[in-house]
């Protein structure tokens, strides 16, 4: 601990000589400065930091109370002990209210005086240590903030470069894949006409190209989402027609062809959607249902008073309850689950992208699943209108006409 420094202020020269001696005899590592006026004390306080100040209250010119006020302005953390005459209780109370640490009555009890002075010095030094530690912590916090800001800038730049690379790579891969797919399909048709035995090999090639297209499109979509340039091109769409077309395309384009039971309402449901993006969501749900179920797939379009829903249900292996909150996370794949049909190749982006697409439509995806019983994914969307078909309208008219008239 550093050496303590004390200032004694009193116009009584005898006291200025006696008190330092008492302090030196009872305290170690201490230095005592003395002065005989408050004005001189102020100059000392401005040029030196003291651990404690001891001053008589009654002094000619500026008294101890006035000196206390100056100390509060110049060095508010320095404790001040005021010496009062016997019976000056009002002055003592006034001194404590003014911010004095303690008061010492005359005649001075030297043991009490030294004990009070030691407590004042200890408090001041502890306060000084706390302030030093606080300043050190603030400096450390600022250095950490600067390090975090620098690291954040580096990560942001790296993430931006990653997104740009994924976008560029995905975009550059799409064109040759499309050409390769077209040429493979053309060659397969020619070989089919000639009855060649190489047709199964070309079908396998087409399936591999299709899987690569899915991966490339997932990378391209995730880069668009991360860069904030993922846009929808919405228009009014008949969801009944769209669901039927998507199921037909999925069944025809999948080998071997899956069984998809589609249930559509008799009413025509119209919604404002991006046809291509919503189709991407439905195809992804159908593909997942086929992957994890060996039985047929059930798909339905329904509506209520507030929204419509496209539901895809399978009777496959299901998902454990503790894993359900994570299935829409980016790059998440359910652990320990074996694919029942189709390819297991994937980046764990399909459901994440689907969820982003549906939320961009102002909708939501919900999932219910029971292990070993299957899963139900539902895409909930706001709809524009529900129109009865001619058949349902005729049925309604017949029902009305059969009612008795009043």
| pLDDT tens sequence across 343-368 | 545 567 788 889 989 999 999 999 99
CA angle 391, 395, 401 (to 5 degrees): 145
Q: Give the residue extent of every domain in the chain.
A: 4-108, 150-227, 235-390
SS3 of 270, please?
A: strand
Extended beta strands in 218-351, E state: 235-238, 260-263, 267-273, 297-303, 308-313
Residue that has been written with the tokens 């493979």 in this structure:
184
Distance CA 3, CA 150 (A): 42
Tell me whether the omega of the peptide bond preceding residue 218 falls within 30 degrees of 0, making it cis: no
Distance CA 307, CA 279 (A): 18
Q: What pLDDT does 53 receive?
A: 92
Best CATH choice for the domain 150-227 from the list 1.20.1730.10, 1.10.287.130, 3.30.70.141, 3.50.50.60: 1.10.287.130
Q: Are 269 and 308 in contact (CB under 8 A)?
A: yes
* Burial label, 7 (beta-carbon count in 10 A; 0-12, 13-18, 19+): buried
Tokens of 215: 């991966």
Query: Which residue ranges in the chain fall short of pLDDT 50?
Result: 344, 393, 395-406
Name the CATH architecture for the domain at 235-390.
2-Layer Sandwich (3.30)
Tokens of 242: 């769209």
Q: What pLDDT does 288 receive?
A: 86
- CATH no. for 4-108: 3.40.50.2300
SS3 of 231, please?
A: coil
Backbone angles phi and psi of 386, in degrees to 5 = -125, 120
Q: What pLDDT does 167 receive?
A: 64
Residue 326, Cβ neighbours under 10 Å: how many? 13
Could you tell me whether strands 374-381 and 364-370 are parallel, antiparallel, or unpaired per DSSP bridges? antiparallel
Distances (CA, A) of 183 to 188, 203, 209, 250, 389: 9, 12, 11, 21, 43
CA proximity to 350, closest of 364, 329, 366, 335: 329
Q: What is the CA radius of gyration of the chain?
A: 43
> What residues pair up with 377 in beta bridges, in sequence order?
312, 367
Distance CA 13, CA 36 (A): 7
CA proximity to 147, closest of 155, 136, 157: 155
Q: What is the pLDDT of residues 275-329, one digit of tens each?
A: 988 998 999 899 888 887 777 899 999 999 899 999 999 988 888 888 888 888 8
> What residues pair up with 386 in beta bridges, in sequence order?
269
Backbone angles phi and psi of 307, in degrees to 5 = -160, 170
Distance CA 348, CA 353 (A): 10
CA proximity to 281, closest of 211, 365, 348, 166: 365
Q: What pLDDT does 170 receive?
A: 63
CA proximity to 353, closest of 304, 282, 250: 282
Distances (CA, A) of 352 to 164, 209, 335, 365: 20, 22, 16, 10
Q: What pLDDT does 79 receive?
A: 93
* Side-chain half-sphere exposure of 109, counting CA atoms within 13 A: 8
């Amino acid at each position: 601990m550093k050496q303590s420094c004390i200032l004694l202020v009193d116009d009584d020269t005898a006291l200025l000589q006696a008190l330092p001696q008492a302090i030196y005899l009872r305290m170690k590592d201490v230095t005592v400065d003395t002065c005989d006026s408050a004005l001189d004390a102020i100059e000392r306080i401005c040029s030196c930091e003291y651990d404690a100040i001891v001053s008589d209250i009654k002094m000619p010119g500026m008294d101890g109370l006035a000196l206390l006020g100056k100390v509060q302005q110049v060095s508010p953390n320095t404790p001040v002990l005021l010496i009062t005459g016997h019976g000056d209780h009002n002055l003592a109370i006034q001194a404590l209210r003014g911010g004095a640490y303690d008061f010492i009555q005359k005649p001075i009890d030297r043991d009490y005086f030294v004990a009070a002075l030691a407590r004042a010095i200890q408090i001041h030094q502890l306060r000084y240590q706390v302030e030093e530690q606080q300043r050190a912590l603030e400096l450390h916090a600022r250095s950490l903030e600067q390090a975090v800001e620098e690291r954040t800038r580096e990560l942001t730049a790296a993430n931006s470069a990653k997104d740009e690379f994924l976008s560029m790579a995905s975009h550059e891969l799409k064109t040759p894949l499309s050409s390769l797919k077209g040429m493979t399909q053309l060659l397969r048709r020619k070989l089919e006409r000639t009855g060649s035995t190489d047709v199964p090999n070309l079908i396998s090639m087409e399936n591999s190209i299709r899987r690569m297209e899915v991966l490339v499109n997932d990378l391209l979509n995730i880069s668009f989402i991360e860069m904030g340039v993922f846009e929808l091109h919405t228009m009014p769409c008949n969801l009944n027609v769209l669901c039927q077309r998507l199921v037909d395309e999925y069944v025809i384009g999948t080998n071997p062809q899956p069984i998809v039971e589609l249930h559509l309402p008799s009413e025509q449901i119209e919604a404002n959607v991006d046809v291509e993006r919503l189709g991407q969501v439905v195809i992804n749900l159908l593909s997942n249902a086929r992957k994890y179920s060996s039985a047929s797939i059930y798909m339905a379009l329904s509506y209520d008073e507030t929204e419509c829903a496209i539901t895809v249900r399978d009777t496959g292996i299901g998902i454990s309850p503790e894993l359900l909150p994570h299935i829409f996370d980016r790059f998440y794949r359910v652990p320990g689950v074996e694919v029942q049909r189709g390819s297991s190749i994937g980046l764990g982006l399909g459901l994440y992208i689907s969820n982003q697409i549906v939320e961009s439509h102002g909708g939501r995806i919900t999932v219910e699943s029971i292990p070993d019983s299957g899963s139900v994914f539902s895409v909930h969307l706001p709809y524009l209108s529900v129109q009865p078909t001619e058949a349902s309208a005729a049925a309604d008219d017949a029902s009305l006409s059969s009612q008795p008239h009043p």
